């Protein structure tokens, strides 16, 4: 199976067109401005000296790189001379200031010792620059950065494989593994693929890499044991999931069954035991990490936006190894929930952490010199000290076309339902839909070199209709197609109430409201205070109403507790009937600081 | 109103006799052994030198002192030559090693600068030694320690009031305030009372005392503002509550209405907004502190045993200022729940923290160099590095007789229902009861100098019967008595389901099971895993059964969730009926590590 690239998929309308317009019209410039103000862009000048203010941070290059990469995806469909000029100038600075041997890092060029600290983000930054280089070349045809990054990759190969002169063997923050695969794909140079495989094979297999920073939740730096031996997803979620992407790439490109099986085990461990209903991962801020199966606290969830994006990257790669809808289901889950909650409706504000419950009155009650009990912030910010998430959201949304189509010799797979046109490999297909606002998807097939079109039937969908005969296999409805065909898919999309496994103690007795792939939440601004005590009637009628936040809001029957001043009092069965207004989870925290709740008591 | 001292109240039978027998037969020796092993007793030799192991900790004297005090109470009713000998030897060491000026502190005599660090426990240790001295004198008639502590108190008065030569004005860990009042009461020396008043008046009123350690939850060291101006109970719970005891004492002895009103505000803030249903306080381990109104998390409750004991001390003092049953209600609540959970059924193990929920599978999932998310331990320990709670439980239980009777000119007040005999102030009364196992209390009055006996009608009791005419006033039933009278009180004591205020988000949708003053809980060892998802039927029949843990267990109708392997699935209304076995909360964690839950989902 091969993917159809975002380059060949034009988003035409609806939900994701609105988001891409926002990225191009607002977010790219806003994030650039914040990065400029915070000296990230000027750090590329490499002029910082001891005693100067604004010392370049070890991960600033990755912020720039992800922004460049996101801009590149956007430039494929939007003209943006102002930002392209900034991109070109930034690339020039990188070229100008890099070492003769190809090395570039705006931190280590002005301070510190190169390749001595595995837990720093040196190879991570390199990887992101490689991804940016590939994207920028693909979008603009300009290969300055690509050539520079090839040279840098060659140097990294020399240091890590040939000379073994670095103080460590594999990166403490994985990312370069998947980036090198992209570099291989665009250049055809197999040594980049082999360098990626070298890192994949060596993770957790070298004593020299172990125990560098093991403080938090075990496998923080992904060095506990070789990847092939891993049973569970542990440690820092973003590090883990970026690494699993490289792992899936290498498994695919080397046809490595053992590595695939390990990746599959890790994927299944995540989606069956360690993933929030929003698709987010990271149960704790301590180590930004996975913890143990079913430990999914809501209010102090870490649920980093980048981890959600990384899960989409990982899940996107797996169908190439095993055609099954569960992967695209995971992509869809995280795409409409855990990722999108990371950006405000106006495109300027971001969450790093995406809890499933916000309780502002009790949020800052433990401010403490010895750490204190912390909860995620309640309102999005335009930039963070560690601002990895904002440009990551940009590149994800700008390349959403990447997630829609794949193909084998005889089948075109449709993973996601997004209004779009694609013309590629002898196929010309228009997908017309307002999904997930409504549930109808029409495919107009002008040209199709494939015998079948295989439409994913989402796991959340209990009933669907297609206007053609189909065979259902591993979650895809296979339909024989002809030229000038028209296929209509209707996915039954009622409001549903979802329970969590009873081992998930944070959701005990509670349900989440969903419609299609979209998870909903209550906000205090609509429903008053003390949402934790509100009950929703799972047998009651529900109504979908105005599209305040792109998809409809939901009104459900609910119950509130009567007023009572006492701290403790005899339990009653009295409730006050009320209508509850649910909004899409991704839209929370757009109307000021207020309570928010995904898991609502079940009446 | 005056109290009848424990000395004049012999506990004869039932619940508290069993506990006092345990303290005398097991706990005193076990805690002594642990303190001996951990070098606390040998620290009294004051021979430690730089480089030696086992440096005496700044609060070790208070551990010894509370143990001595508890032993003293016990010696009033139990002969215990072995431990009395140890006590005498320890006192000899104190006498031998103290300074000529009366100063004694086994830490500061061998290291550090005296009276320079307000946040250390120097005056706290002095206060505890004074309490021990008073108790030991009262129990044994031996006044060596009492005389020594009077001299020490004189020296403290010189340093703090006359010379003002200390680096601070008031203690960062209050305790000495209430101890000086005891010293005054036993010696009649008013300067000790005045020294106590000096500290009470100066707390929070001196810039020199402020901002020494303000890291955690505001008023950690009780130095934020003068006591008379305080509206809420803040900061370190034990420090706060010990201080409020001194405050109540001074308000009473100086007839200080303003100070009483401040104490009343603080008491009401605690019991109406900041107290667990177990009577425990301390919503966070960070600063061992109060946080904000209604913030009462269950699993990471701090709920320190000492804070519960301190609340009993505070609530015991308040009726002298304002005759109302709410104070003795608070004493009863904490006595049967938050205090007693601090000691194991065998009398050897202790909890420092008393959470309302234990979830062992998810307890140690955040072990982390940067602090991590911590939860209280799941099993009691025999000694802690900071082992304040074990001897505090000893002295509380050994002096339980202190909490039963008070009197005014014409009325004998009965605050607690405990099988006992008292002969004092012309009264000779036998209280016969198996309370709270059963609900009948009989008073045999052989001699009574008072016109009335006033029996507390607990707030939890909706219906009661007395075999005499009575007038109900402020929660006490006033009954005219005669010599050779017999009064029978019957307190209706059904199993009840209790809700928390909806602002207590941690208890939303949940109920606690109570019978009389006793809070119950579920344990995994009886009811299986995933207790958070179990529901109890608040309309269902309940049964009380065998007295496995002194009072009956309770069987209630409940419901479990059907098995389901999925992480998320469509909500159903299917449940599996089950009997739920509730045990007294104070008896949790006596049968190995297992889940525990107080707040159970309400069906």
Tell me the per-residue pLDDT of A135-172, one tens digit each, with 9 for 90 and over. Answer: 999 999 999 999 999 999 999 999 999 999 999 999 99
The CA-based angle A470-A476-A482, given to 5 degrees, is 45
Asked if the Cβ–Cβ distance from B601 to A372 is below 8 Å, we say no
Question: The tokens of B226 are what?
Answer: 């003068």
Q: Give which of A314, A311, A306, A296 is closest to A350, Cα–Cα.
A: A306
Q: In DSSP terms, which residues pair with B132 in a beta bridge?
A: none
Q: How far is B329 from chain A (nearest CA, A)?
A: 13
Question: How many contiguous H segments (helices) and E segments (strands) does chain B have?
Answer: 14, 23
Q: Does A503 touch chain B (CB under 8 A)?
A: yes
In the sheet with B2-3, reading across from the earlier edge strand, the strands are B2-3, B405-407, B411-414, B452-456, B476-480, B471-473
Clarify whether B388 is annotated catalytic: yes
Q: How much is the pLDDT for B280? A: 98
What number of CA atoms fall less than 13 Å from residue A169's CA on the CB side?
Answer: 17
Q: How much is the pLDDT for A382? A: 97
Asked if the Cβ–Cβ distance from B373 to A275 is below 8 Å, we say no
Q: Does B482 touch chain A (CB under 8 A)?
A: no
Go through chain B and tell me how many residues it has. Answer: 603
Phi-psi region of A474 (alpha: psi -120 to 50; beta: other; left: phi over 0): left
Question: The tokens of A360 are what?
Answer: 């502002």
Give the dihedral of Cα atoms A166, A170, A173, A174; nearest 10 deg: 130
The sign of the dihedral angle between the CA atoms of B546, B547, B548, B549 is: positive
Clarify whether A386 is annotated catalytic: no
Q: How much is the pLDDT for A368? A: 66
Measured between beta carbons, which residues in chain B are less than 8 angstroms from residue A365? 217, 283-284, 291-292, 295
Residue A219: φ, ψ to 5°: -85, 50
Instruction: Please identify which residue in the block is written with the tokens 């012309």.
Output: B426
Q: How much is the pLDDT for B426? A: 84
Query: What is the pTM assigned to this prediction?
Result: 0.96
Instruction: Please identify which residue in the block is written with the tokens 């990294």.
Output: A156
The sign of the dihedral angle between the CA atoms of A585, A591, A596, A599 is: negative
| Alpha-carbon span A270 to A280, nearest angstrom | 10
Q: What is the DSSP letter of A208?
A: G
Q: Is the pLDDT of residue A533 over 90?
A: yes
State chain B's mean pLDDT as an integer.
Answer: 95
Mean pLDDT along residues A208-221: 69
Measured between beta carbons, which residues in chain A are less than 8 angstroms from residue B529? 503
Go through chain A and tell me how many residues it has. Answer: 603
Q: Is the pLDDT of residue B217 over 70?
A: no
pLDDT digits (tens, 9 = 90+) for A370-420: 667 788 999 999 999 999 999 999 999 999 999 999 999 999 999 999 999
Asked if the Cβ–Cβ distance from A505 to B362 is below 8 Å, we say yes
Q: Is the pLDDT of residue A215 over 60?
A: no
The CA-atom distances, in angstroms, between B56 and each of B66, B84, B129, B454, B569 are 17, 23, 16, 49, 58
Q: How much is the pLDDT for B368? A: 65
Instruction: Please identify which residue in the block is written with the tokens 């979620």.
Output: A237
Mean pLDDT along residues B86-110: 98
Pairing outcome for strands B452-456 and B411-414? parallel
Mean pLDDT along residues B343-366: 94
Q: How far is B215 from chain A (nearest CA, A)?
A: 5
Query: Which one is catalytic: B125, B245, B388, B461?
Result: B388
**Strand segments (E) across B440-515:** 440-447, 452-456, 464-466, 471-473, 476-480, 485-491, 495-500, 510-515
| Alpha-carbon span A346 to A463, nearest angstrom | 35
Q: How far is B505 from chain A (nearest CA, A)?
A: 6
Measured between beta carbons, which residues in chain B are less than 8 angstroms from residue A369? 215-216
Asked if the Cβ–Cβ distance from A368 to B216 is below 8 Å, we say yes
A440 touches A419 (CB < 8 A): no
| Alpha-carbon span A194 to A162, nearest angstrom | 12
| Alpha-carbon span B594 to B592, nearest angstrom | 6
Residue B64: φ, ψ to 5°: -60, -45
B11 touches B406 (CB < 8 A): no
**Burial class, A531, CB count within 10 angstroms (exposed 0-12 / middle 13-18 / buried 19+):** buried
Q: How much is the pLDDT for A482? A: 82
Query: Which one is catalytic: A122, A131, A288, A595?
Result: A288
| Alpha-carbon span B192 to B185, nearest angstrom | 9
| pLDDT band at B478; cut points 50, 70, 90 | very high
Question: The tokens of B343 are what?
Answer: 């000691």
C-alpha B578: how far from chain center: 36
Asked if the Cβ–Cβ distance from A573 to B539 is below 8 Å, we say yes
3-class SS of residue B26:
helix
Q: How much is the pLDDT for A568? A: 98
Q: Does B494 touch chain A (CB under 8 A)?
A: no
Instruction: Please identify which residue in the block is written with the tokens 């912030």.
Output: A377
Mean pLDDT along residues B418-444: 95
B234 touches B289 (CB < 8 A): yes
| Alpha-carbon span B64 to B31, nearest angstrom | 10
Mean pLDDT along residues A251-268: 98
Q: Does A463 touch chain B (CB under 8 A)?
A: no
Mean pLDDT along residues B408-416: 96
Residue from the list B273, B286, B503 with its beta carbon closest to the beta carbon of A370: B286
Q: How much is the pLDDT for A547? A: 85
Asked if the Cβ–Cβ distance from A564 to B362 is below 8 Å, we say no
Lowest mean pLDDT among A192-206, B205-219, B434-448, B531-545: B205-219
Q: Which helix (H) or strand (E) holds A92?
A: helix A81-97
What number of CA atoms fall less than 13 Å from residue B316's CA on the CB side?
Answer: 29
Mean pLDDT along residues B239-266: 98
Asked whether the ipTM of the predicted complex exceeds the cut of 0.90, the reply is yes
Lowest mean pLDDT among A44-48, A284-288, B303-307, B553-557: A284-288
Mean pLDDT along residues B306-320: 98
Measured between beta carbons, which residues in chain B are less than 8 angstroms from residue A573? 538-539
Asked if the Cβ–Cβ distance from A365 to B217 is below 8 Å, we say yes
Q: Which helix (H) or strand (E) holds B421?
A: strand B420-424
| Alpha-carbon span B450 to A425, nearest angstrom | 104
Q: Does B499 touch chain A (CB under 8 A)?
A: yes
Mean pLDDT along residues B260-289: 96
Number of cross-chain residue pairs from A and B with Cβ atoms under 8 Å apart: 188
| pLDDT band at A259; cut points 50, 70, 90 | very high
Measured between beta carbons, which residues in chain B are less than 8 angstroms from residue A277? 568
Measured between beta carbons, which residues in chain A are less than 8 angstroms from residue B556? none
Q: Is the pLDDT of residue A526 over 70?
A: yes
Q: How much is the pLDDT for B119? A: 85
B248 touches B314 (CB < 8 A): yes
Q: Give which of A94, A85, A87, A88 is closest to A43, Cα–Cα.
A: A94
Give the dihedral of Cα atoms B189, B193, B199, B203; nearest 10 deg: 180
């Amino acid at each position: 199976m091969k993917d159809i690239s975002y380059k060949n998929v034009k988003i035409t309308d609806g939900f994701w067109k609105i988001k891409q317009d926002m990225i191009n019209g607002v977010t790219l410039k806003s994030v650039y401005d914040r990065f400029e103000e915070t000296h990230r862009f000027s750090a590329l000048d490499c002029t910082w000296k001891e005693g100067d203010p604004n010392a370049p941070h070890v991960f600033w290059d990755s912020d720039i790189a992800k922004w460049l990469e996101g801009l590149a995806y956007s430039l494929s469909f939007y003209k943006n001379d102002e930002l392209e000029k900034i991109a070109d100038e930034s690339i020039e600075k990188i070229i100008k200031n890099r070492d003769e041997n190809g090395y570039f890092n705006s931190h280590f060029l002005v301070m510190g010792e190169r390749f001595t600290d595995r837990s720093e983000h040196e190879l991570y930054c390199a990887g992101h620059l490689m991804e940016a280089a590939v994207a920028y070349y693909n979008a603009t045809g300009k290969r300055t950065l690509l050539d520079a990054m090839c040279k840098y990759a060659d140097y990294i190969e020399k240091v890590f494989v040939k000379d073994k002169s670095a103080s460590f063997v594999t990166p403490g923050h994985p990312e370069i593994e998947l980036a090198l695969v992209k570099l291989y794909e665009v250049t055809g140079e197999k040594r980049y693929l082999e360098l990626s495989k070298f890192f994949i094979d060596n993770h957790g297999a070298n004593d020299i890499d172990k125990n560098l920073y093991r403080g938090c939740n075990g496998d923080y730096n992904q060095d506990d044991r070789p990847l092939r031996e891993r049973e569970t997803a542990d440690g820092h979620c973003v590090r883990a999931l970026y690494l699993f992407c490289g792992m899936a790439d290498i498994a695919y490109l080397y046809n490595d069954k053992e590595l695939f099986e390990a990746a599959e085990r890790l994927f299944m461990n995540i989606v069956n035991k360690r993933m929030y209903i929003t698709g987010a991962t990271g149960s704790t801020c301590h180590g930004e990490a996975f913890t143990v199966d079913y430990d999914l606290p809501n209010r102090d969830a870490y649920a980093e936006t980048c981890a959600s994006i990384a899960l989409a990257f990982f899940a996107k790669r797996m169908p190439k190894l095993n055609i099954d809808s569960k992967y695209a289901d995971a992509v869809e889950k995280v795409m409409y929930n855990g990722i999108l909650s990371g950006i405000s409706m106006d495109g300027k504000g971001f969450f790093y952490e995406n809890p499933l419950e916000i309780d502002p009155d009790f949020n800052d009650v433990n401010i403490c010199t010895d750490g204190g009990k912390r909860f995620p912030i309640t309102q999005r910010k335009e930039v963070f000290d560690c601002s990895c998430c904002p440009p990551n959201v940009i590149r994800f949304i700008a390349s959403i076309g990447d997630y829609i189509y794949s193909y084998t010799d005889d089948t075109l797979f449709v993973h996601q339902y997004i209004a779009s046109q694609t013309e590629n490999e002898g196929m010309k297909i228009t997908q017309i839909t307002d999904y997930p606002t409504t549930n109808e998807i029409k495919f107009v097939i002008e040209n199709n070199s494939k015998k079948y079109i295989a439409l994913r039937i989402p796991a959340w969908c209990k009933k669907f209709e297609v206007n053609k005969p189909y065979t259902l296999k591993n979650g895809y409805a296979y339909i024989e197609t002809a030229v000038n065909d028209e296929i209509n898919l209707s996915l039954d999309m009622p409001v549903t109430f979802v329970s969590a496994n009873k081992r998930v103690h944070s959701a005990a007795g509670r349900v989440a409201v969903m419609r299609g792939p979209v998870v909903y939440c209550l906000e205090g601004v609509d429903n008053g205070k003390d949402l934790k005590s509100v009950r929703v009637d799972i047998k009651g009628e529900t109504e979908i109403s105005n599209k305040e936040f792109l998809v409809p809001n939901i009104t459900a029957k609910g119950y509130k507790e009567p007023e009572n001043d006492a701290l403790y009092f005899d339990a009653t069965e009295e409730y006050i009937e009320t209508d509850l207004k649910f909004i899409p989870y991704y839209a929370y925290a757009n109307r000021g600081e207020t309570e928010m709740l995904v898991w609502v008591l079940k009446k």
